[in-house]
Chain A
Amino acid sequence: MKLDWEYYWDEVKKRKFFIFGFFLVVLLPTMDTWIFLGPSVRTAQSVGIMPDSVTTSIIIQKAAILVIFAVSWDLLSGYSGQISFGHALFLGMGGYLAVMIREGLMIGDQEVFPGMEEQLVDIGGIYFDLSVIEAIILASALIAVFALVTGTIILRLKGPYFALVTLVLPLIAQILVTKIWGDFTGGDGGLQITSQLIQKPPGSTLEGLDLFKLQIEQMTTVILTFAIVCVAIMYLLARSRYGLVLKAIREDEQAASSSGINVSLYKVSVFVISSFFASVAGGLLAQVFGSSTSALFESERSFEIIIFSILGGIGTILGAIIGTFVLFFALSYYIKDGFVDLQTIEVLIFGLLLIIIIRYQPRGLINADPQLRNSLFFGVIFSFLMAFYDTGNMIIASTWNPAPILQKYLGQGERGFFGMDLFKVQGRMVLYFIVGTVIGYYGPELAQKIRLRLWGVWPSLGTFDPPK
């Protein structure tokens, strides 16, 4: 996929987007501190038409971790063709083992091994505990050794048999962790993290919420750095000769073998590499959650990334990155962590998306035809944009995001009209309508009509078609 900023700008110019009378806001975690946008963003956050920056940061953290996880799955299943339905095994193991190594292991009153020493370092103003990162990498290395042993055994199985075994393994691990090894894995409650990755800088006067916000932002930086390094390594591997051999194994094992490729060696090695990075993702996810629980092993974790990767395009690292980041971000932002508690319909949305994609674009969005790909891509990008105007006693907001209205109605168990709403929050009137970005992008004529109906109020973003 061609990613070029000039090309984006062409798309924007071609669509003749207008910004008229409103503030245009791109959602970023730190935007409430921006000088120009700060006041209006804070107003929007206070009346609940935008999630606050902490929520956004946490969504970005989770998305970045899932990108590592999805790319590691794509390297194993998309490239070498060994479809794994239980990659969460390594996610969970990484989470538990990293916490155990850092915090030490106690069985009853007996200490099996002590935890690691605290090593506080300051890199670029981020004051963090290096031992946590060392523990994550050490745990991942141990899990890679474990994967070497299990891989040599289970990779003898082919196709559906391998998939079935991988499906079962995390379920076994979940039972072991919650029921049988409860003494040192903490049972259902999981292992709590007592030593935070991000520490309070010495001499800092920040307290309470401000300190929390600072730590969340620094955590985002650390996790994004991790994600960039891990994904870059896997991307280079996939683009190298190694990736080509993996693809050959996926296409035809026997032909690969008669070309002189040691098929089992490559399959085991990619299993080990993939498990290493999945464990890194697990260790980081435990840090974000604040504990390692058996939820890390859940099959939902495995299926989530499979769906994201298929949507993005399987067997292309870029597809897994874009699919995971964009979709997880969009879904979480609008549904899961943003405002509305719609976790129950999340699976429904995933399922529908998957059916549509497999029916119409089986090779994923990254391999879709350029027109469709662009319109979906820009649709998602523009859906993050919102515009609002604060008149003093009324906030006029226009966005594609239906979350506030959904929340208002579904939260009270009523059914509402989804297009437009007027409601009162904290003594302030909010006029909210879902026109603008996406409708403006896909249906310029419709957007223009709505705009005329609203007595000259412009939709946040839309195409301006000069009258013929």
Chain B
Amino acid sequence: MSSRPTSVWRQITLLRVNDLSVHYGRAIALASVTLEIKSGEFIAVIGPNGAGKSTLLRAISGLVELERGTITYNDEILVETTNSRYRKIRKDRSLMPNEIVQRGVIHCPERRRLFPKLTLEENLMLGAYVYKEETEENYKRMEEVLRLFPALRERMHEEAGNFSGGQQQMIAIARSLMGRPKILMLDEPSMGLAPTIRIEIMEKIKEISQQGTTILLIEQDAMLALKAAERAYILEDGTIDREGRCSDLLNNEYILETYIGLT
């Protein structure tokens, strides 16, 4: 923790989600969610199934249409909807998903979503797609990323679909890192993995965080997430139920009872 840059830099709000609402038809996925991420922070969002956790990330990366709200990154508007009646005609000042990626807001999607028939190397290079002009830089970056995941180095020319679940998750994270994220948004990286591998992956994420990347982690395994992160938001039925420092939340009786199963 001590190696991380602190002081003034930590005070800058990097991502601000303001009054965000998303509807899927009549179903309300998110209702008036507001949250803030300061640079360098490691934030966890936990909540039960269907609480709107993934929708939150999809909204930030511009993959779903907003009912209401704004999302700003470094005081620049990423996604916004001012007038819901005309939103289909007027795109407002929202950016396209690829432009959001270019800003360094990178989404590592749920269920890994690799390109299974492409090789590991091709997968990683596609992660650096927005830096298309700098091939050499990309290879240097790949070396850096592989330093974090040394087990992948020997299998660069294998199809990504042939890897085990844990390795596929590592590839997915490595692919996201290839895009030089300022904010890395991870959607349930521990899904469907064995407990030891979950811990291994969480260690890797902590390592990435310590290297200075801001992290927004979405997790069902509350214990795992709260132990790794600094601050957490609890999302329930599309609204933020409570927030706080992880150490405080871990002592909260309600949290222990509902999400960790201790009574």
State the CA gap A245–B129 with chains docked (Å): 9
State the CA gap A258–B183 with chains docked (Å): 13
Choose one: B98, B106, B126; the contact of A248 (CB below 8 Å): B126
Comparing B20-28, B107-115, B216-224, the segment that makes contact with chain A is B107-115
Q: Taking CB as reference atom, which chain B residue is nearest A249? A: B115
User: What range describes how many residues of B lie at the interface?
Assistant: 20 to 34
Segment 77-96 of B: residues with Cβ below 8 Å from A? 96
Comparing A259-267, A338-346, A455-463, the segment that makes contact with chain B is A259-267
- For B127, list chain A residues within 8 Å (CB): 259
Given contact pairs A244-B125, A245-B129, A262-B96, A257 touches B63 in the complex (Cβ within 8 A): yes
- For B102, list chain A residues within 8 Å (CB): 260
State the CA gap A303–B107 with chains docked (Å): 39
State the CA gap A77–B196 with chains docked (Å): 41
Q: Taking CB as reference atom, which chain B residue is nearest A252? A: B113
B61 on the A face (CB < 8 A): yes
Contact A251 B116 (CB under 8 A): yes
Interface of A is mostly: helix
Distance in angstroms from A252 CB to nearest chain B CB is 5
Contact A259 B114 (CB under 8 A): no
Bitwise, B19-51 to A at CB < 8 A (1) or not (0) is 000000000000000000000000000000000
Given contact pairs A247-B115, A251-B116, A255-B109, A261 touches B63 in the complex (Cβ within 8 A): no
Q: Taking CB as reference atom, which chain B residue is nearest A261? A: B129
State the CA gap A257–B175 with chains docked (Å): 13
- For B116, list chain A residues within 8 Å (CB): 251
Contact B114 A260 (CB under 8 A): no
Contact A259 B117 (CB under 8 A): no
Bitwise, A233-251 to B at CB < 8 A (1) or not (0) is 0000000010011011001
Contact B179 A260 (CB under 8 A): yes
State the CA gap A258–B97 with chains docked (Å): 7
Contact A258 B107 (CB under 8 A): yes
Q: Taking CB as reference atom, which chain A residue is nearest B131? A: A260
Contact B130 A260 (CB under 8 A): yes
Choose one: A244, A254, A262; the contact of B126 (CB below 8 Å): A244
Contact B115 A255 (CB under 8 A): yes
- For B63, list chain A residues within 8 Å (CB): 254, 257-258
- For A259, list chain B residues within 8 Å (CB): 101, 126-127, 129-130, 175, 179
Contact B115 A260 (CB under 8 A): no
- For A257, list chain B residues within 8 Å (CB): 63, 97-98
Contact B115 A248 (CB under 8 A): yes
State the CA gap A262–B101 with chains docked (Å): 10
B122 on the A face (CB < 8 A): yes
A interface residues, tally (CB under 8 Å): 16
- For A258, list chain B residues within 8 Å (CB): 61, 63, 97, 101, 106-109, 113
State the CA gap A439–B51 with chains docked (Å): 67
Q: Taking CB as reference atom, which chain A residue is nearest B117? A: A251
A256 on the B face (CB < 8 A): yes
Contact B130 A247 (CB under 8 A): no
State the CA gap A255–B101 with chains docked (Å): 12
State the CA gap A245–B132 with chains docked (Å): 11
Contact A260 B98 (CB under 8 A): yes
- For B114, list chain A residues within 8 Å (CB): 251-252, 255
Contact B126 A245 (CB under 8 A): yes
Given contact pairs A244-B125, A247-B117, A254 touches B109 in the complex (Cβ within 8 A): yes
Given contact pairs A258-B97, A258-B107, A252 touches B129 in the complex (Cβ within 8 A): no
- For B97, list chain A residues within 8 Å (CB): 257-258, 260
Distance in angstroms from A247 CB to nearest chain B CB is 6
State the CA gap A247–B126 with chains docked (Å): 10
B156 on the A face (CB < 8 A): no
State the CA gap A255–B132 with chains docked (Å): 17
- For B132, list chain A residues within 8 Å (CB): 241
- For B12, list chain A residues within 8 Å (CB): none
Q: Which residues of B contact A (CB under 8 A)?
A: 61, 63, 96-98, 101-102, 106-109, 113-118, 122, 125-127, 129-130, 132, 175, 179
CB<8 Å pairs between A and B, sample of 9: A252-B114, A252-B115, A255-B113, A257-B98, A258-B61, A260-B101, A260-B129, A261-B98, A261-B129
**Known contacts A241-B132, A248-B126; 15 further A-B pairs (Cβ under 8 A):** A244-B118, A244-B126, A247-B115, A247-B118, A248-B115, A251-B114, A251-B115, A252-B115, A254-B109, A255-B109, A258-B106, A259-B127, A260-B97, A261-B126, A261-B129
